[in-house]
């Protein structure tokens, strides 16, 4: 549902009017700069990035959406930056969207510094991040930064009502109220939650599905926590942690675990060993990140 109703213009984006106004002026005056959208997952950062890319003049074929989880290495990033300067059959305007840019290694972030200082007028770089404080300060200084906010209640209600109208769905008031309350102004959660409860009329089951919707932010991290919560030995936890570390930085795993544990306290999914793990994860917020993450999990078994 959230993909089907993803906005394609600034007018279709609900909320964040101050950001949209600045971006519209950029687009009208053709005064583009490297830009970073910051905020929670699901609050329209990537959506805004793609709208700006289109307004910049880049065709779909020249817009590269790069998930930095999978391209965090120096060589990969250098190759991507070099490709921006190669000619394209689809026109001269090119855009590189660096999604989850905070997952780049510090040494890889350094690769971006020089190119960002002097981009040619036909190339634009846009970044999206849920954890901008994980980035080196010299990289942050290269971007114009926008903090994308969650929706207020009126905006959330408008988004839900407009999608229901487009889909021709009749929703009882109690279900609508529950969805808006549980989504907490997060556009993606509103729409993913809607798709899960459309045909559910039992109130307890609706609450169950919405609780689950709120903590399913990262399936690998969620699976790691589930294994941790259900076993009493290190081996299975170690195996899941290895899988997690392939696509997530140690700090992202630590923060993700803490978010899920705290969220579970407000849901129907209490994590029995979560408080002890949470305390150990707080102490792990120092270097070396990976070693401290491992020890936090091991000591909490």
Q: What digits encode the pLDDT tens for the residues 259-291?
A: 788 877 766 566 778 889 999 999 998 888 899
Mean pLDDT, range 72-80, rounded to an integer: 83
10-147, what's its fold? Answer: Rossmann fold (3.40.50)
pLDDT for 142 beyond 90: yes
pLDDT for 79 beyond 60: yes
Mean pLDDT, range 178-185, rounded to an integer: 92
Share of the chain above pLDDT 70, in %: 96
Mean pLDDT, range 231-237, rounded to an integer: 94
Q: Where are the domains of the chain?
A: 10-147, 154-215, 219-300
For residue 94, the model assigns a pLDDT of 96
For residue 57, the model assigns a pLDDT of 95
For residue 72, the model assigns a pLDDT of 65
Q: What is the pLDDT of residues 97-141, one digit of tens each?
A: 999 999 888 899 999 999 999 899 999 999 999 989 889 999 999
pLDDT for 223 beyond 80: yes
Residue 97, beta-bridge partner list: 65, 126
Helix, strand or coil, per DSSP, at residue 216? coil
Across the chain, what does the average pLDDT equal? 90
Separation between Cα atoms, residue 17 and residue 22, nearest integer Å: 9
Q: How confident is the model at residue 73 (pLDDT cuts 50, 70, 90)?
A: confident
Separation between Cα atoms, residue 208 and residue 226, nearest integer Å: 17
For residue 269, the model assigns a pLDDT of 61
**Least confident range of 232-236, 266-270, 277-281, 296-300:** 266-270
CA-nearest of 269, 292, 270 to 280 is: 292
For residue 2, the model assigns a pLDDT of 74
What DSSP designation does 133 have? G
What DSSP designation does 103 have? G
Q: How confident is the model at residue 295 (pLDDT cuts 50, 70, 90)?
A: very high
């Amino acid at each position: 549902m959230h993909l089907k109703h993803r906005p394609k213009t600034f007018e279709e984006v609900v909320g964040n009017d101050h950001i949209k106004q600045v971006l519209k002026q950029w687009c009208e005056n053709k005064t583009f700069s490297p830009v970073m959208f910051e905020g929670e997952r699901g609050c329209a950062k990537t959506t805004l990035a793609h709208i700006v890319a289109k307004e910049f003049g880049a065709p779909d074929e020249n817009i590269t959406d790069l998930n930095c989880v999978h391209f965090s290495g120096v060589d990969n990033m250098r190759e991507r930056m070099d490709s921006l300067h190669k000619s394209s059959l689809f026109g001269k305007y090119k855009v590189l969207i660096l999604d989850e840019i905070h997952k780049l290694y510090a040494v890889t972030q350094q690769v971006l510094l020089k190119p960002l200082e002097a981009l040619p007028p036909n190339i634009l770089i846009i970044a999206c991040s849920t954890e901008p404080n994980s980035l080196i300060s010299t990289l942050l200084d290269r971007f114009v930064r926008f903090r994308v906010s969650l929706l207020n209640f009126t905006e959330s209600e408008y988004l839900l009502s407009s999608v229901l109208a487009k889909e021709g769905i009749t929703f009882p008031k109690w279900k609508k109220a529950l969805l808006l309350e549980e989504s907490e102004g997060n556009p993606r959660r509103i729409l993913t939650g809607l798709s899960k409860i459309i045909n559910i009329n039992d109130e307890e089951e609706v609450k169950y599905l919405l609780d689950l919707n709120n903590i399913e932010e990262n399936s690998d991290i969620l699976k790691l926590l589930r294994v941790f919560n259900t076993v009493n030995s290190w081996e299975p936890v170690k195996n899941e942690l290895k899988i997690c570390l392939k696509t997530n930085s140690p700090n992202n795993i630590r923060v993700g675990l803490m978010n899920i544990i705290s969220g579970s306290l407000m849901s129907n999914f209490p994590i029995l060993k979560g408080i002890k793990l949470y305390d150990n994860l707080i102490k792990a917020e120092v270097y070396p990140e990976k070693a401290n993450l491992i020890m936090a999990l091991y000591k909490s078994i």
